[in-house]
Amino acid sequence: MDTRLLLLVLAAAAAAPLASAQLEPGFYRTTCPDAEKVVSSVVERRFKADPATSALLLRLIFHDCFANGCDASILIDPLSNQSAEKEAGSNMSVRGYDIIDEAKAELEKMCPNVVSCADIVVLSARDGVRLAGGPAYEVPTGRRDSLVSNREDADNLPGPDIAVPKLMSEFSDKGFSTEEMIVLVAGGHTIGTARCLFIEVDAAPIDPAYRSNITTFCDGKDGDKGKVSLDEITPNLVDANYYDLALAKKMPLTVDRLMGLDPTTMPILKSMATKPAEFNPLFAKVMVKLSAMKVITGKDGEIRKSCSAFNNPTSTNDDQSVIRISSLLPGEMEGLSPVAAKGTSESRKLAGVGAAEEAQNAAAGVMGGPGINKVVGNEATIPTNSVPAAIGTSNKIAENQVAPNEASSDANAAGGLDAGDETAVKKSMRRKKKNKAMGRNSFSMAAAGDEASKRDKKATGNEAASDVAAGGAQPSNVV
């Protein structure tokens, strides 16, 4: 490893906010000497099978660390008497949990009760970045796992159409400078894809030719299911292309185009674009800083035996991690452990009508009230099929659906499904689908793939029925 890069990385670790001195490189050198090799082996195996692995792991670490610190709280499955960060709207399409579970299972066989899930998340992201052509960097280890996972802690991740000053404020509150924010977003948005459902070409200035290509592609046979590469030049690589693409207004997500126009961020982007060789050491440094946010060390927290469950889950309402009946719907439980899924399903049967409606609205991210920005995800699946200008793919994913009574409501409002009204009704249904999906994703890093989309499909049908019954609840605008 380059000596200069190593020094930068270690300096970042030392300067990270709220990072304990107990974090150190090679923390497991005596207790589990091959821990990092095991994690790397699992990630490399997954990456060879699916290059989207890198994007999944980048998004996973951002959603864990940016919510309430790098403590593996995002990995906890919700139970009938426990909410969890997984239920937050921005986390509904996060994937990669199975990669962490696989690494944990192998480590438990080798070194039981030694390596934390929080460290596995951080190490996996590091390896994903390297495999995708990004910098190879060291991260200090020694994190411990949280004893708490609350949905509310993950409800405020930045959205894809957030104003740049607000975005800078969000990062500043976490201890990041504007330059660090730009580098982190640049690295996170240089791989992965965004679904057409979440692309707003009218929300910010966009290159006319790029707009034409996106519009043509997203209006094609795949429609909302289509996927557009975040980086149309090298969609599979972590590199410095973000700067030029944001300045050229050739990116699908609104926030990225706004970054190239804002009077504060635009000059920084221009400067960074002239020095692409500096991207790798800067991205390595900011990733180490992200990885050290609000960590748990020493004797605090725990070393989980299973990353998806606390070692000693509480059963009373006195503990802060037990806040309400799970808000997950049966159709949203893919990927959860059988025990968690069963517990959540049973809680549905016992909940009263009022509680059920509240839980359904919570699962849809329904909050109401003005002044809150909607969230949107960018897909993690790296494209395999190109479209004009190499901007999209046609990976097959399940289509979001709207409940039949929503269609009836639209038809009634339009005076019936006459031929002249059909287009208006379709547009209305499309808006409803988009609004519901908006509450499920954040702008950060790269987002979910096929399985998450299937989960969205099932959940959306249930949520639509709930919204109609409630008189038309408004979509979430969680930042």
Distances, alpha carbon 30 to alpha carbons 25, 26, 35, 114, in Å: 12, 9, 10, 11
Q: Is 153 labelled as part of a ligand binding site?
A: no
CA atoms 396, 334, 408, 90: torsion sign? negative
Active site residue 321: no
47, 51, 61, 63: which is the annotated catalytic residue? 63
Q: Output the DSSP codes for 243-300.
A: HHHHHTT--SSHHHHHHTTSTTHHHHHHHHHT-GGGHHHHHHHHHHHHHTTT-B-TTS
Q: Is 134 labelled as part of a ligand binding site?
A: no
> Helices 279-291 & 117-131, crossing angle to 10 degrees?
170
d(CA 369, CA 384): 41
Matching residue, tokens 């940016």? 66
Q: Is 300 labelled as part of a ligand binding site?
A: no
Q: Is 85 labelled as part of a ligand binding site?
A: yes
Q: Is 64 labelled as part of a ligand binding site?
A: yes
194 burial type by CB count under 10 A (0-12 exposed, 13-18 middle, 19+ buried):
buried
d(CA 304, CA 113): 7
Q: Is 30 labelled as part of a ligand binding site?
A: no
Query: What is the enclosing helix (H) or strand (E) of 252?
Result: none
Q: How many CB atoms lie within 10 A of CB 186?
A: 27
Q: 274 — phi, psi (to 5°)?
A: -85, -10
Q: Is 158 labelled as part of a ligand binding site?
A: yes
d(CA 392, CA 390): 6
b (16+ CB within 10 A) / e for 149-177: bbbebbbbbbbbbbebeebbebbeebbbe
Q: Is 231 labelled as part of a ligand binding site?
A: yes
DSSP label at 25? T
Q: Is 71 labelled as part of a ligand binding site?
A: yes
Annotated binding residues for substrate, as ranges? 158
Annotated binding residues, as ranges? 64, 69, 71, 73, 85, 158, 189-190, 231, 234, 239
Annotated binding residues for heme b, as ranges? 189
Annotated binding residues for Ca(2+), as ranges? 64, 69, 71, 73, 85, 190, 231, 234, 239
Active-site amino acid positions: 63
